[in-house]
Chain A
């Protein structure tokens, strides 16, 4: 059984490529599309570093077969900035010092974006719940929550 051609949208652009039917979305994003902002952390659904947005929802690209992306809309961290301008969440992360080593940051940003797209004015508790599937190795959760709250004030 060879590769199968699939089409989907990534960061607003059409992508058409032949994928190994057993490949995960994470592998296809990183290796075939060169979108290495999506991180491979545990590769087992525990850490959230591979989080992307699929059809408006935060999902784990390491546990999603690439085949399931067919016909869907994917947003990765590379798709957050617009015309060279960082997304309000990215600016807030920088201002609040919410980035330490940075490995969890892409996943944190996308979990936060999925939340703010649904709920532009979340409570701190709702932010905590939204990023509960994203582990930070540097234990910097408080500043991440501060940053999401700051971004929500600016967006909302």
Chain B
């Protein structure tokens, strides 16, 4: 029987993490971790519960910057008016997670730390160029969310570190974003392919001035489709540009045949989903002012 520490402060959490090191795991929503423990895939001596550290429960918006504390759940994100207005793709990705019951408990930070290659919210965060505040007893480091993922199910977080906050800039009038997921049903379904995109347009010249496209499932870790981005940046806003970019995306992923479909199908759907996110994102551009 293991030890369960209900940390009341970050210091208590760090003390436990430092003491138990690789035998400790942090829990908040627990919707992934409990499954791993029940299945015997993760052996722990100590569970460090951070849900009582209420200082970590906030969604702030200040000066264009949106900050999410570690305890913010998917439900809170999907219902947040500021996220729906300034980072709609993150609201869409949060809504795509699990079921209402899972979204009421699972946190966005937990979704990042768990590093599933099929995870939904990390893609939106990567497309938004979100950064993570990674804290330990010794100090803190700021890491781009896309750099946290180092391989299949792996982040570069150390045993004694916690992500306490995610932050990113809200979308500007000349920016738009979208998240789309291919799954067998609209709830309780793991994605076969998922894509999040943020585009920036030069409204006077009617060209794509920037693009960040993140793909999941069909790659070892949530990551950007950089060739697709390059196929958009500097090109006119047209069906042809969108077609070229989505074609590039399909060429740079490495889908495998599995329960969510054949490799060929997933590659074809990558093309469809990338195009769809770009078109959806364009709908958010405010062409005047």
The chain A residues found within 8 Å of chain B, CB to CB, are: 1-2, 4, 20-22, 24, 43-46, 48, 51, 57-60, 62-65, 67-68, 70, 111, 114, 129-130, 132-135
26 A-B pairs with C-beta separation under 8 A: A1-B1, A2-B1, A4-B4, A21-B2, A21-B3, A21-B4, A22-B47, A43-B38, A44-B38, A45-B102, A46-B188, A48-B101, A57-B75, A58-B100, A59-B104, A59-B105, A60-B31, A60-B105, A64-B34, A65-B49, A68-B49, A68-B51, A129-B100, A132-B99, A133-B100, A133-B188
| Given A1-B3, A132-B187, also A65-B101 (CB < 8 A) | no
Let me know if A48 and B99 touch, CB within 8 A. yes
Q: Tell me whether B6 and A70 are in contact (CB under 8 A).
A: yes
Nearest residue in A to B73 (C-beta to C-beta)? A57
Do the beta carbons of B38 and A68 come within 8 Å of each other? Answer: no
Contacts of B97-153 to chain A: CB distance below 8 A: 98-102, 104-105
A126→B249 CA distance, assembly (Å): 35
For the complex formed, measure the closest distance between the CB of A60 and the CB atoms of chain B, giving whole angstroms: 5
Q: Beyond A51-B101, A58-B100, A132-B186, is A65–B4 a contact (Cβ under 8 Å)?
A: yes
Q: Is the CB of B98 within 8 A of A20?
A: no
| Cross-chain contact A21 with B100 (CB below 8 angstroms) | no
Question: Are A45 and B35 in contact, with the CB atoms below 8 A?
Answer: yes
* Given A44-B38, A133-B98, residue A64 in contact with residue B6 (CB < 8 A): no
Please, which residues of chain B bring their CB within 8 A of the CB of A64?
A: 30, 34, 105
Chain A residues with Cβ below 8 Å from B187 are: 129, 132-133
B2 partner residues in chain A, CB cutoff 8 A: 1, 21-22
- Min CB distance A29 to B, Å, is 15
New A-B pairs, 13, CB < 8 Å, besides A63-B30, A132-B187: A1-B3, A45-B31, A45-B101, A48-B99, A63-B102, A64-B34, A65-B47, A67-B6, A68-B30, A70-B6, A133-B98, A133-B187, A133-B188
- With A60-B102, A60-B105 in contact, do A65 and B188 touch (Cβ < 8 Å)? no
* A58 interface neighbour in B27, B49, B101, Cβ under 8 Å: B101
A114 and B99 CA atoms in complex are apart in Å by: 14
Across-interface contacts of B102 in A (CB, < 8 A): 45, 60, 63, 133
Count of A-B contacts judged by CB separation below 8 Å = 85
Within 8 Å CB of A67, what residues of B? 4, 6, 49
Chain A residues with CB below 8 A from B35, complex form: 44-45, 63
Q: Which of B31, B75, B100, B105 has the most CB of A within 10 A?
A: B100
Q: Write out the residue numbers on chain A whose beta carbons fall within 8 Å of the beta carbon of B51.
A: 68
Q: Is the CB of B188 within 8 A of A132?
A: yes
CB A15 to nearest CB in B, in angstroms, measures: 17
Find out whether the CB atom of A63 lies under 8 angstroms from the CB atom of B31.
yes
Which chain A residue lies CB-closest to B186? A132
Once bound together, how far apart are the Cα atoms of A4 and B35, in whole Å?
22
Chain A residues whose C-beta falls within 8 Å of the C-beta of B186 in the assembled complex = 132
Instruction: Enumerate chain A residues within 8 angstroms of B100, measured Cβ to Cβ.
Output: 58, 111, 114, 129-130, 132-133
Please report the C-alpha to C-alpha distance between residue A134 and residue B98 in the assembled complex, in whole angstroms: 11
Please, which residue of chain A has its CB at the minimum distance from the CB of B39? A44
B residues near A2, Cβ cutoff 8 Å: 1
Question: Are B34 and A24 within 8 A (Cβ)?
Answer: yes
Q: Which residue of A lies closest to B6 (CB)?
A: A67
Residues of A within 8 A of B99 (CB): 48, 132-134
Question: A63 to B105, Cβ gap below 8 A?
Answer: yes
Task: Check if A20 sits within 8 Å of B1, measured CB to CB.
Answer: yes
| Interchain nearest-CB distance for A39 vs B (Å) | 14
- CB-CB contacts of B57-75 with A at 8 A, as 1s and 0s? 0000000000000000001
Chain A residues with CB under 8 A of B98: 45, 133
Smallest Cβ distance from A81 to chain B, in angstroms? 22
